[in-house]
């Protein structure tokens, strides 16, 4: 049997394929859109049967070209929270996902897909992955809405009885360099700190949070992969789940972990947040992990100190 990973040359997808390889699975079809980017480098070192462009793949799906597939990890999407082309996001993130999910359900193939914590909006409704509260969520950007719309569609049609969706929180780690502005703060800041020995963070424009004390649920990509692969190794588990750590940490904590991993004393300058972000900024995110824990998932998450240190030592120090 083969396993399909869309977005397999992307950030989480690349790390997922590597983990599948470690577990002895190299019967993998990778689907992505390499274009003229440097994303192709993420394929180096991976073991897989075939690479298919995302446009060709969906056409082959329509033609019934695939047999003997055990699971589809659908991680391919436009992940830019600043993307303004709503038609593109509807087509690429919503319609593509719906088509692929319908095909998987029709052929009794496990469908595991990437949703996003961006569906929670400003967090006023909390970060509880209870589907009964899903209709109340108001995403802050079109990217979040494109993910939310599929979540709602899956719930309406009863698909969560068979499929698994993961609301990824702030994932960071190796093989994200191709993501441009959507890279993690760690990836963006490493070369800056190496050159200047200091870094800039956004000031807080919220009275409840000091500068740099805005809180996020940061999850190392290796942990996010373990959460994802859990639904492959437990095919009978389905539903919509948070994919975080359950522990919020500040941007100050995160960047100080990077300074520490680089053996440099912290030097942080706080700068004004761009006007375009002020009304769309999440000051606090923290995944409620009780639902995924109830499935028997007992993985111990890495602290940001350990995760950042591993990232620096195994990847960033060799890339820069």
CATH number at residue 50: 3.40.50.720
Tell me if 23 is assigned to some domain.
Answer: yes
Please indicate, yes or no, if residue 297 is contained in any of the structural domains. Answer: no
CA distance 109 to 56: 20
Above 80 in pLDDT, residue 96?
Answer: yes
CATH code, domain carrying 252: 3.90.25.10
Are residues 160 and 262 located together in one domain of the fold? Answer: no
Residues 111 and 182 in one domain: no
Mark whether 106 and 130 lie in a shared domain: yes
Residues 107 and 180 in one domain: no
Per-residue pLDDT band for 46 (boundaries 50, 70, 90) equals very high
Q: Radius of gyration over alpha carbons of the chain, in Å?
A: 19
Same domain, yes or no, for 126 and 153?
yes
> How large a percentage of the chain has pLDDT more than 90?
89
Angle of helix 304-311 relative to helix 251-261, nearest 10 degrees? 40
Of 287 and 123, the structure prediction assigns the larger pLDDT to 287
Q: CA nearest 140: which of 154, 156, 123, 153?
A: 123
- Assess if residue 292 is contained within a domain: no
Look at residue 298 in the predicted model and tell me its pLDDT: 94
pLDDT band at 279 (very low <50, low <70, confident <90, very high): confident
> Which residue range(s) make up the domain with 259?
173-215+248-284+306-319
> Mean pLDDT for the chain?
95
Domain count, the chain: 2
Average pLDDT of the segment spanning 91-117: 96
Identify the pLDDT of residue 37: 86
pLDDT tops 90 at residue 13: yes
Same domain flag for 127 and 188: no
Does one domain contain both 127 and 208?
no
Residues 15 and 157 in one domain: yes
Query: What does the pLDDT read at residue 82?
Result: 83
Give pLDDT, residue 145: 96
Judge if 128 and 203 occupy the same domain.
Answer: no
In a domain, 293, yes or no: no
**33-45 pLDDT, tens digit each:** 998 888 999 999 9
d(CA 305, CA 196): 22
pTM (two decimals): 0.96
Do 150 and 257 belong to one domain? no
Any idea which residues carry the catalytic annotation?
143, 179
Establish if 229 belongs to a structural domain: yes
Does residue 80 surpass a pLDDT of 90? no
Evaluate if residue 280 carries a pLDDT over 80.
no
Regarding whether 152 and 130 lie in a shared domain, the answer is: yes
Determine the average pLDDT of the residues in 75-90: 91
151-187: per-residue pLDDT in tens?
999 999 999 999 999 999 999 999 999 999 999 999 9
Query: pLDDT > 70: what percent of the chain?
Result: 100
pLDDT at position 275, please? 87
> How does pLDDT run across 196-255, given as a tens digit for each residue?
999 999 999 999 999 999 999 999 999 999 999 999 999 999 999 999 999 999 999 999
Q: Are residues 207 and 190 in the same domain?
A: yes
Q: Cα–Cα distance between 251 and 138 in angstroms, integer?
A: 24
Q: Does 320 score more than 90 pLDDT?
A: no
Q: How confident is the model at residue 301 (pLDDT cuts 50, 70, 90)?
A: very high
In-domain check, residue 296: no
């Amino acid at each position: 049997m083969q396993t399909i990973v869309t977005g397999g040359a992307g950030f989480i997808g690349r790390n997922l394929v590597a983990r599948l390889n470690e577990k002895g699975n190299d019967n993998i079809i990778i689907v992505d859109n390499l274009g003229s980017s440097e994303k192709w480098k993420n394929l180096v070192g991976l073991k897989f049967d075939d690479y298919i462009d995302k446009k060709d793949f969906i056409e082959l799906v329509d033609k019934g070209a695939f047999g003997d597939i055990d699971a589809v990890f659908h991680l391919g999407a436009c992940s830019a929270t600043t993307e303004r082309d709503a038609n593109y996001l509807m087509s690429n993130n919503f319609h593509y996902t719906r088509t692929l999910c319908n095909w998987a359900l029709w052929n009794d193939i496990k469908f595991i897909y990437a949703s996003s914590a961006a569906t929670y909006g400003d967090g006023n409704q909390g970060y509880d992955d209870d589907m009964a509260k899903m209709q109340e969520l108001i995403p802050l950007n079109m990217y979040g809405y494109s993910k939310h719309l599929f979540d709602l569609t899956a719930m309406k049609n009863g698909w969560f009885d068979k499929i698994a969706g993961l609301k990824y929180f702030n994932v960071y780690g190796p093989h994200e360099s191709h993501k441009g502005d959507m890279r993690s703060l760690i990836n963006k800041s490493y070369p800056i700190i190496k050159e200047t020995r200091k870094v800039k963070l956004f000031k807080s424009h919220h009275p409840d949070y000091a500068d740099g004390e805005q809180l996020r649920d940061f999850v190392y990509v290796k942990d996010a992969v373990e959460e994802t692969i859990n639904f492959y190794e437990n095919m009978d588990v389905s539903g919509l789940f948070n994919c975080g750590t359950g522990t919020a940490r500040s941007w100050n904590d995160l960047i100080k972990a990077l300074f520490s991993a680089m053996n440099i004393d912290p030097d942080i300058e706080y700068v004004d947040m761009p006007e375009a972000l002020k009304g769309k900024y999440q000051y606090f995110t923290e995944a409620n992990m009780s639902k995924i824990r109830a499935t028997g998932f007992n993985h111990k998450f890495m602290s940001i100190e350990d995760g950042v240190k591993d990232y620096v030592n195994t990847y960033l120090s060799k890339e820069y």
